Each structure stands twice: as C-alpha cells, then as structure tokens.
C-alpha cells in the first residue's frame, strides 16, 4: 500500500483577511507577539495595520525587521536574541519569503536550542515551536503553508534547506490586498517562483494525487493572471488569483518537495546574492528540458494548464509546448532568459554543481542527476541555447 501524508495550516483567505490577525493570535494563546518583517514591508504600512488589529485584540507586540533578502544564519540568531529579550510567547511574520523563513527559524531555535545548521535537512526538529502566525505580502514563496525554511549559511555560502512538519505554521492569513504595494519586478519574480513550485512539485518523485491537484491549478492561475498582475498593481482580480496560486503551489511543494531547479537556485542565490524568483525563472525551462525524458506526459498536462490545445500533439511535442510557454511567460513579464550579467562565471559552476547534489530538493527530481548534468544546465542557462 502506498501511504502519503498531506500537511497544511489553518488558512484564512480573502480581501480584508488581515483583520483576523488579532483574533487569530488570541486563539493561539498569544499575549505578546514577536512581529518579524523587513524594512520594505514596514514602510508599506502593512505592519502598522497589523499592529492595529493586534491592539484591538489587546495583544501586545514587539517589532523586529533586521532582515535582508536571502535571510542569513546571523540574522536568525539576532532575531532569536531579540525574541528572548522581549519575552514574547508567539511569532508573527508579515512579509515575503525572507521574513517568513526567518520567523520559522527563530521559532525553531526558541524551543529546540542550538544553531540553524543543527537542523539542516529533513525532520531534525524534536520539540514543539511557539505559536506561529503568517501574513504573506507576496504571491510567490508559499512559505506561509509549507514545511520549509531556507536560510543562508554565510560561512559555507550555501542555502540550507530545513524541512520539517514542525515548520508548518499554525495559521496563514492570506489577504490579496497586501500584494498591491509590490513593484512590478518583484511581482514578476515572485510569481515565477510560485510557478516553479507548482511545476517542480507536480513532476516530483514524491507527488501524490493531493499535491497534483494543487500544483496544476496553481499553473492555471499563474498562466492566466501573472501578466495582468505585473502590469497593474491595483488589479485585485489578478492579485487574488496570484495569492491563491502561490498558496496552492506552496501546499503542493510542501508535501511533494521540489527538484533540480531549486537545488540549483539555492546555490546561486547564496553565492551571488541573487533574487530567488529571478534565478528560478531562468533555470526552470532548462531543467524542464533536461527532465522531459522522465516526465513528458506530466509536462503535456502542464501545457494544457497553460491553455494549450494538445489534442493533436504527441506527448513529446506537447511537453515541448509547455517549456516554450514557460519561456514566453518569463519573457513577457520582463525577466532575463539567461544568467548572463548575473555574476555567474564558468569558474563557479563546478562547486555550485557539487553543492546542488547535496541539496535536499535534488532527491525528488524526476530524473537522476550527476554533477556534470547540473554543470551542463548551468552553462546552457548562462549562455542560452539548448
């Protein structure tokens, strides 16, 4: 018998859902909440609105925002010190993947002790975390519903993947209105991040019927709404669709894991400080080309989710249509199609490739990879071409 598990938090979704944050904190037993965010979200005004609802519920708070893109182990340790000094009893993240993953790592260390490196890999958390409440401000990371936290090890210059059901938040409050204050470039990058989550989890070796439904619907929503979301910050219909797409892709990859695209981007992002969504956007089509021999039928269904009529196409041709559709979407929303100009050099490729083989995401890639396979994909993505 094949046995699979599907984990998810309580989810509150919809326009105006942010007003549920105070009542949600109370239900988790919180009296003093540690609010983890970043400077950009703070300046947008969403933290102020969040605090308003905490105040209404008579829940006190402490705000901490010392986070950069691609959150680092030292930042987590700094956040932990502030959490302990503030004597908080719950953690609330307001922001994108960086604040959310940092909040998860702080919660992990608050009750389990040690350093972030102690928990790299799968299922190394042994003690329950403090109550964890998430309000995402981007439609991309899916971390508000996932059992992942990705943190940079500054000494080794790699991204550590921490995977544990303990990291699944207690409550995710997803309010599409928060997406209106994001610039077009970030909207584009985070949207393709969600697409890469959906496609990689759909073809993952750990995929199940439950994750397949979430993944394919996320692809449909992204294909039909990402361009509009990038084009107009006030298009709430597109924003709502992208918020749902990110959430569903997050549920899919949380339970099915990912693949070679993320194993590779984790190395690039940590080494070169690149935006995770943009590196995913570049690498995804090249990884799809490499994986096609192992999962052409599933890629054909991805093409259908993009709205392509595949009834007269062979499986192989339909799979190629899916790859071309991803490339066209990336081009339309203004993300570069190669890694040229992003700082990658031939000299870095061997070490990046070796490190990618050690990443937890590589285990569920549908096609076996060698270091040379990964290096070849890196080189194609650097220069373009097949």
294-314, pLDDT tens digit by residue?
999 999 999 999 999 999 999
* 270-289: average pLDDT: 93
Average pLDDT of the chain to the nearest whole number: 95
Task: Band the pLDDT of 1: cuts 50, 70, 90.
Answer: very low
Is 90 exceeded by the pLDDT of residue 341? no
* 212-232: average pLDDT: 98
Is 50 exceeded by the pLDDT of residue 290? yes
* 47-59: average pLDDT: 96
pLDDT of residue 197: 97
CA distance 170 to 189: 27
Is 90 exceeded by the pLDDT of residue 258? yes
**Percent of the chain residues past pLDDT 70, beyond the cut:** 99
* 95-100: average pLDDT: 94
Is 90 exceeded by the pLDDT of residue 320? yes
Which of 301, 239, 223, 289 has the alpha carbon at shortest distance from 261?
289
Which of 207, 258, 279 has the alpha carbon at shortest distance from 362?
258
* 71-91: average pLDDT: 97
Residue 113: CA count within 13 A, CB half-sphere: 0
**Percent of the chain residues past pLDDT 90, beyond the cut:** 91
* 119-131: average pLDDT: 95
Task: Band the pLDDT of 386: cuts 50, 70, 90.
Answer: low
Backbone phi, psi, residue 166, to 5°: -65, -20
Task: Band the pLDDT of 343: cuts 50, 70, 90.
Answer: confident
Pairing status of strand 148-153 against strand 158-163: antiparallel
Task: Band the pLDDT of 5: cuts 50, 70, 90.
Answer: confident
* 310-331: average pLDDT: 97
φ/ψ bin of 136: left (φ > 0), alpha (ψ from -120 to 50), beta (otherwise): beta
**Which ranges of the chain does DSSP label H, i.e. alpha helix?**
21-27, 39-44, 46-56, 73-86, 97-112, 184-203, 209-231, 236-256, 260-272, 276-305, 315-332, 349-357, 371-383
Q: What CATH homologous superfamily does 184-383 map to?
A: Dehydroquinate synthase-like - alpha domain (1.20.1090.10)
Domain ranges for the chain, please list them. 10-178, 184-383
Is 50 exceeded by the pLDDT of residue 68? yes
φ/ψ bin of 343: left (φ > 0), alpha (ψ from -120 to 50), beta (otherwise): left
Which of 80, 89, 312, 122 has the alpha carbon at shortest distance from 206?
122
pLDDT of residue 385: 65
CATH fold for domain 10-178: Rossmann fold (3.40.50)
pTM: 0.95
């Amino acid at each position: 018998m094949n046995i699979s598990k599907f984990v998810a938090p309580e989810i509150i979704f919809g326009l105006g859902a942010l007003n549920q944050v105070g009542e949600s904190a109370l239900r988790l037993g919180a009296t003093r909440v540690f609010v983890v965010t970043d400077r950009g979200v703070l300046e947008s005004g969403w933290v102020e609105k969040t605090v308003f609802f905490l105040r209404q519920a008579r829940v006190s708070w402490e705000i901490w925002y010392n986070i950069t893109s691609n959150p680092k182990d030292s930042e987590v340790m700094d956040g932990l010190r502030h959490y302990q000094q503030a004597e908080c009893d719950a953690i609330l993240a307001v922001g994108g993947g960086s604040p959310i993953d940092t909040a998860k790592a702080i919660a992990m260390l608050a009750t389990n002790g040690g350093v972030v490196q102690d928990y790299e890999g799968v299922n190394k958390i042994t003690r329950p975390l403090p109550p964890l409440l998430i309000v995402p401000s981007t439609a991309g990371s899916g971390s508000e519903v996932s059992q992942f936290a990705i943190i940079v090890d500054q000494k080794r210059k790699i991204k550590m993947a921490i995977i544990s059901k303990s990291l699944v938040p207690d409550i995710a409050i997803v309010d599409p209105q928060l997406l209106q204050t994001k610039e077009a470039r970030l909207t584009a990058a985070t949207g393709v991040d969600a697409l890469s989550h959906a496609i990689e989890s759909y073809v993952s070796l750990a995929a199940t019927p439950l994750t397949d439904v979430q993944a394919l619907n996320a692809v449909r929503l992204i294909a039909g709404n990402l361009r509009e979301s990038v084009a107009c910050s006030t298009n709430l219909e597109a924003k709502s669709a992208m918020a749902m797409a990110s959430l569903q892709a997050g549920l899919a990859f949380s339970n099915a894991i990912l693949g070679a695209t993320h194993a590779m981007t984790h190395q690039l992002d940590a080494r070169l400080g690149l935006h995770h969504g943009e590196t995913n956007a570049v690498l995804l089509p090249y990884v799809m080309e490499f994986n096609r021999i192992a999962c052409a039928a599933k890629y054909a269904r991805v093409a259908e989710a993009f709205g392509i009529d595949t009834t007269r196409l062979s499986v192989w041709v339909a799979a190629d249509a899916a790859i071309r559709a991803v490339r066209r979407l990336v081009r339309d929303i203004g993300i570069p199609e190669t890694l040229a100009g992003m700082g990658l050099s031939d000299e870095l490729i061997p070490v990046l490739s070796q490190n990618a083989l050690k990443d937890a995401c590589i285990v569920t890639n549908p096609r076996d990879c060698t270091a040379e396979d990964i290096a070849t994909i890196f080189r194609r993505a650097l220069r373009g071409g097949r």
